[in-house]
Amino acid sequence: MSKCVRSIAYMRGRISTTFTRTSALIVVRASRNAPSPQFFQIPTFLPNGRATLKKIARISGPSALLFAVLLGGCAASGSAPGSPQDVPAHLVQLMHESAAAWNRADLTGFLATYADDPRTTFMGQTITLGLDSIRARYVRSYFKDGKPRDQLGFDELETRMLGPDHALMRGRCILTNPADNSKTYCRYTLVWEKRPEGWRIIHDHSS
């Protein structure tokens, strides 16, 4: 049993309630001026399909808050990193996943790290704006036959947080020709932005 499950089971054990078929949504009813203990409420679905709110337990406000936090924390596990300290490792993981997509000829998977935004920028000898134009650039330069000309890898990755929602990454790309194992190197800087769909690249300067 996971730590989250054990913690929630412990809290539920402290609440006396009658179990009914309910949705997973939990609503905390609170009043600023009410000194009495607060109620947890959940939507209860009646046999005729109608929904109502039923008080299922009288518990203290702090206990209700703790229970809600436990549920929220468990629901968030496995998703995007929750603290700035976790972001650099998460971005490195995304880079390696994108390289793996490139190497299996999945250009869409490789480009999944880029923001689907008309302002997303790729800078080389020229400037390319927008994900569709960036895709066309990669097709012209590296995916002419529907598969990559070279195998891709990244190393020397370093990340600097620019705030809670932005990060600057620099690193080195390694292109390996499978025919003779020759290697070509490039340097790049990436600006990442935390967006509703996750962390995405909004600016790529490679040379």
Name the more confident of 96 and 64.
96
Domain ranges of the chain: 3-76, 84-206
Contact 202, 191 (CB under 8 A): yes
Mean pLDDT score of the chain: 74
| Cα distances (angstroms) measured from residue 153 to each of 46, 103, 110, 147 | 56, 9, 12, 16
Q: 3-class DSSP state for residue 140?
A: helix
Contact 131, 117 (CB under 8 A): yes
Lowest average pLDDT, out of 122-126, 143-147, 202-206, goes to 143-147
CATH fold label, 84-206: Nuclear Transport Factor 2; Chain: A, (3.10.450)
Q: For residue 80, what pLDDT band results from cuts at 50, 70 and 90?
A: low
Predicted pLDDT of residue 192: 98
Would you say residue 169 has pLDDT above 80? Answer: yes
Contact 74, 8 (CB under 8 A): yes
Selection from 120, 196, 189 nearest residue 165 by Cα: 196
Q: Which H or E run includes 32?
A: none
CA-to-CA distance for 145 and 152, rounded, in angstroms? 16
Predicted pLDDT of residue 85: 80
Long-range CB pairs of 67-73 (<8 Å, 24+ gap) are 67/8, 67/11, 67/12, 67/15, 67/26, 67/40, 68/26, 68/28, 70/4, 70/7, 70/8, 70/11, 71/8, 71/26, 73/4
pLDDT tens digit string along 32-42? 344 443 333 33
Predicted pLDDT of residue 18: 37
pTM as predicted: 0.61
CA-to-CA distance for 159 and 185, rounded, in angstroms? 19
Burial class (CB in 10 A: 0-12, 13-18, 19+), 100: middle
CA-to-CA distance for 173 and 190, rounded, in angstroms? 12
Selection from 110, 88, 96, 102 nearest residue 192 by Cα: 88
Q: 3-class DSSP state for residue 174?
A: strand
